[in-house]
Amino acid sequence: MNTTQPLKAEQISAQKTGFIVDVRTPDEFAREHIPGSVNIPLPLLSASVEQLKTLPEIILSCRSGNRASQAYQQLQAMGFQNLCLLEGGLQGWKAARREIVSLKKGYSVMQQVQIIVGIMVLTGTLYKPLWFLALIAGVGMLIAGLTNTCMMAVLLGRLPWNRLGMGSKSPTNCSLP
């Protein structure tokens, strides 16, 4: 299945071939994912190369397809030829009305960041004595954009309600066949 053309969800279901590797964050994967898929976050992909080499066919997926495309290029540069992309990622899968697994409810970490930054900007704008909150929010977003790392998201991810349930295994511990 060596193709640069993305596969549609219907093609994957009909062919019943390929092993779906979801390259989103563990938090995103825990919230919802394709049944039978395994989570290997994009930054950890190169550390899983030996396991991936054992798979006959790899279908890369993420939320919309952007990170999966990056993973495709990264793995192709390492010599993988048994790759393809899920067209539209999880969004495309859901648009095709395919089954998903939902494990976690509530707001994602990035939604929490957006809510907090929005509150800081509104408060700083509407209540002048707290103008510095809008400044802090703006500087934080600037740094996050330049470094591709959001410290607020990192900190929020450590809070108890953003962790997987006590005693449950992290989705990143899924083993490859």
Domain that holds residue 153: 109-162
Specify if 148 maps to a domain.
Answer: yes
Number of independent structural domains in the chain: 2
**Of 177 and 24, the one with more pLDDT:** 24
Mean predicted confidence (pLDDT) in 18-37: 87
Residue 61 domain-assigned (yes or no): yes
Q: How far apart are the C-alpha atoms of 123 and 35, rounded to whole Å?
A: 42
pLDDT grade for 7, boundaries at 50, 70 and 90: low
Global pTM value: 0.62
With 80 as the cut, is the pLDDT of residue 83 above it?
A: yes
**Exposure string for 20-29, b = 16+ CB within 10 A, e = fewer:** bbbbbbbbbb
Do residues 48 and 121 both lie within one domain?
no
- 117 lies in the same domain as 66: no
Q: Does residue 135 have a pLDDT over 60?
A: yes
101 and 28 in a common domain: yes
